[in-house]
Each structure stands twice: as structure tokens, then as C-alpha cells.
Amino acid sequence: MTKAIAGAAKTLLVPTDHTLVMVDHQSQMAFATRSIDAALLRSNAALVARSARVFNVATVVTTVAEKTFSGPVFSEIRAALPEHKLIDRTTMNFWEDTNVVDALNAFDKQKIVMCGLWTSVCIAGPALSALEQGFEVYILADACGDVSDEAHDRSMDRMVQAGARPMTSLQYLLELQRDWARASTYDAVTGIAKDLGGAYGLGLIYAKTMFGGEGG
């Protein structure tokens, strides 16, 4: 008989085992996004960026044609990660850009977590490229978007079929925390959840206000 052993699956993320790549969360790219509401997309991107800051995750923020076409990265990302130098590209697939690849190699992580615009192009391309080279790839689906539901959904299907692991933004935050006894990040994590965690955040605010509640 198999016996349970206390411990986490190796596929669960921890702050030190992956590189987060935030891709093309820019004005022009968001204008044509229809698979997710723009305000929710910005909120989810902010949640991811703030999570990365709290847990000191190795992070790359990349843009495409920032000065000539796509415009500035979301202000929420810049506010959360002000010290990060943006890597601007001409390639739609960031895995074909040597500056981005050099940054990834400098972090030397086997797991890559991605989110950005658009799912079918600037996420699917590098995800498939990374998987082919033997990396483990995670996609934060609700911090991605595309020109239609169909474009987003079929691209997620394609990446999952190739071996990528889909996640959500809030799931990412809570997976990094994973234990409410980790006091050093407790206040920051619940603070992010209260600000950006939707109904879950409202629940935390209610519990704290009405009952002095703590925990997840």
C-alpha cells in the first residue's frame, strides 16, 4: 500500500526555482485584446508583478517596439518593479531575442513562468520554443489576453498539449506563499490579495474588519 508522505509536489513553484517573464503588457497590445477585460488584465498583471517583488523572484520584463508602436508598459508593473530595465525587442517570439535569452541564462532556472500579450503570438511562440529545449513552462492564463476568446483558448490548448502548465495569477501568489506560518511574507501577501484578489480579497477584508480574522 502506498503511504502518504508530508511534502510538496516538485511541480509546485517556489520563489527560487523559476524565472518570471512578463511580456508586452503595453497600451497598443491591450487596445485590441478582447478575451479579457482591460481593467481585469491590468489588475492581474499588477498582482503578478507585486508577487514577484514580495518573493524576490528572478524576473524579466520585456516589450516589443516600445518607442515606435506598442507604447509604455502598464504603470502597475513599473510601480511594482521600478528597478527592472525593460528589454525591448523586434521579435514577436522573445525566445529568438538574444538579449532576453541572455537574461534568462543569467538566472539559470529550469522553470519559466510566462504571461503577456498576445497569447497566440508572444506567449505561444516562446512557450513552445522553451518546451522544445527542455524547460518546464507555466502560463499565467489570466494575465494573458488575445484578440478573441478563440485565439486565447486555442493557444492555451496548444501550449498545454505541448506540455505547458496553466495557472492563474492568484494561484501564483498563493503557491509562492503556500504556508500561512511563513510570517515574513504574510502581511505582504494578504495585502496584495486584499488589493487585487477579487472576491477572495474582499473576504479577507471582511474577516479582518468584522472579526479580526487572520489566515487564508
Q: Which residues are catalytic?
A: 122
Q: Is 166 helix (H, G, I), strand (E, B) or coil?
A: strand
Comparing CA positions, the residue from 126, 152, 170 lying closest to residue 23 is: 126
Chain mean position to CA 23: 9
Q: Is 160 helix (H, G, I), strand (E, B) or coil?
A: helix
Rounded (10°) angle between helices 149-162 and 124-132? 0
Residue 198 identity (one-letter amino acid): G
Comparing CA positions, the residue from 133, 87, 96, 91 lying closest to residue 112 is: 133
